[in-house]
Structure 1
């Protein structure tokens, strides 16, 4: 694929992401009395999925299977322990909602695509980073101090999980940048949707009414900095207007780097090296970038989860 006029890399902002990337979250439009219940139910939706993922692992993989795949018995035990943690998170969130007299979402039917230990570990890395991003963003909106403290505690554990998966079995980045990456609820839902087949109809009323998943963005999970890369996504539902273009937004920590989408691809930013987990969106905006926003309203597809491991000299 040829690229005729790639846009120079542009650092959009180094401000906290809720001001530069996250479209005003659906929870901002809730009545204060409803906000905490919907946030907790959204986090419970994520925890249900994580619990199901880890609790299914012992039926799919043995300790010896992990060793054969290049991991250790200790790695296998840690993943089982992570499943216990996620089950505890589910129990806490359900208890908190019940104690407040609030209804709670029920587990969905899930379909996990891992069929060998290596794919299991890769999926775990994505889920733990996504969970950390979900709790990070939720902390800005939870009103009840007791819920806030508990969510902060779970946030720390999810981040430790991500650190373990990346730093031990994968022998790569134990962290990403100096900051975690908060994502909007719609972005989180988009990332976990491929693993969810069907949810109880009653769940929808307990979550923000404007919650929705974006079209999927398919991209190489291990892109190479400064090299071209293909992007696969559905055309925008609303055709681009005159003077509009598509851009790839590479979201990492508290900053966003933007590259122009040409045809069906873009160029990977050179300064993505060593950043660890990065989320990629396709967004629309004016070609001169005068009104370019990195938010839910401008999103065409994604986010996709990609990883830039530390180099040997990092």
Structure 2
């Protein structure tokens, strides 16, 4: 199954948001905790809305196991606890919840967006760990582990695909995560503290995401057919495969499995922020227990 080529393009369409942001060289611990709280607020709102809208029968009608409703209620409690924990740690400096637009139409799309958010959360905590130490790092690691468990359960028990991506998950930096989050955030309180981040343009792909085949790639509402020296980096675990864009198309590399983040870059050797043109985009190459793609 490959839902990301079409479904996630909708999730990650460019949205202008009023989320305070500024670029600073070195984020403080308070910055990182508010960055984490921003994501936890989003997840908390998502699950609160979902468990209010979808019953056990909703999941059965969508071809999914009915017991998922109860488990998603448990996940909702976890995310609410994360919000309470981080808010308590930050005190009066804590950022507030924003307004969101979740691309959910039924129980199945709810489960798919859940899988996306839990993977992004795992990548966020992994990438931000470098800025933390001591007890703060330990607490963040404890939350990261739960996010990863959520992700594994959703994709295996509910969506009937792989519970993991490989031997390593994929750390993403602050700007990459912020770019993914702003596709869902529509507005935020003006009193929220500024985050030391910036959002890149959304990166979208065509519907054909078959390994070895070319697919269209675009950002800023136009295709990349005229872009000279543009590449797409496919980030999976600790590895990145960079492929040139030719006439607005990129060839999907062989061997991609599980969640992959794609970044448009001006470099043929790196995907760091200083050479990023757009993205990341969330892609999912689901696979069976025999390692064959679904």
TM-score normalised over the length of structure 2: 0.86
Give distance in 1, aligned partners of 2:209 and 2:71. Answer: 28
Count, aligned residues? 266
Matched, 1:61 2:54: yes
Choose from 233, 245, 248 the match for 2:229. 245
SS of corresponding position for 1:71: coil
The match for 2:263 is 281
Change (3 A) 1:75 1:220: farther
Match of 1:293 in 2: 270
After superposition, the Cα gap between the structure-2 partners of 1:146 and 1:312, relative to the gap in structure 1 and judged at 3 Å, is closer
Deviations 1:146-175 (A, max 9, x none): 111110000000000110111111111110
Deviation at 1:218, TM superposition (A): 1.3
Pick from 179, 196, 201 the counterpart of residue 215 of structure 1.
Answer: 201
Report what 2:82 is aligned to: 89
- 1:306 — aligned with what? 283
Q: In the aligned structure 2, how far is the partner of 1:91 from the partner of 1:311? A: 37
Which residue of 2 is the match for residue 112 of structure 1?
Answer: 102
Q: Specify the SS of the correspondent of 2:182.
A: helix
Kept after mapping to 2: 8 A contact 1:247/1:284: yes
With 86-95 and 58-67 compared, the bigger mean Cα shift is at 58-67
In structure 1, distance between residues paired with 2:153 and 2:208: 19
Q: 1:95 to 1:106 in 2, by over 3 A?
A: same
| Deviation of the 1:221 alpha carbon | 7.2
d(CA) in 1 for partners of 2:171 and 2:284? Answer: 16
Q: Provide the rounded CA distance (Å) in 1 between the counterparts of 2:216 and 2:136.
A: 42
Contact 1:221–1:305 (CA under 8 A) maintained in structure 2: no
Q: Is the CA contact (8 Å cut-off) linking 1:221 and 1:307 kept in structure 2? A: no
Alpha-carbon RMSD across the aligned residues, in angstroms, is 1.9
Gaps of 5+ in 2: 1-22
SS class of match (1:139): helix
Map 1:133-282; keep pairs closer than 5 Å: 133-143=123-133, 145-205=134-194, 207-208=195-196, 211-220=197-206, 223-234=209-220, 245-272=229-256, 275-282=257-264
2:33 aligns with one of 32, 37, 40: 40
Q: Specify whether residues 103 and 175 from structure 1 end up closer, same or farther in structure 2 by C-alpha distance, changes over 3 A only.
A: same
Aligned: 1:51 with 2:44: yes
Instruction: Indicate conservation of the 8 Å contact 1:222/1:307, yes or no.
Output: no
User: What is the rounded CA distance, in whole Å, between the counterparts of 1:165 and 1:255 in structure 2?
Assistant: 24
| In 1, Cα distance between equivalents of 2:129 and 2:95 | 20
Distance 2:207 2:154 in 1: 16
Does the CA contact (< 8 Å) of 1:166 and 1:172 recur in 2?
yes
Shift of residue 223, structure 1, vs aligned partner = 2.0
For the pair shown, the structure with the greater C-alpha radius of gyration is 1
Q: Distance in 2 between matches of 1:293 and 1:267?
A: 18
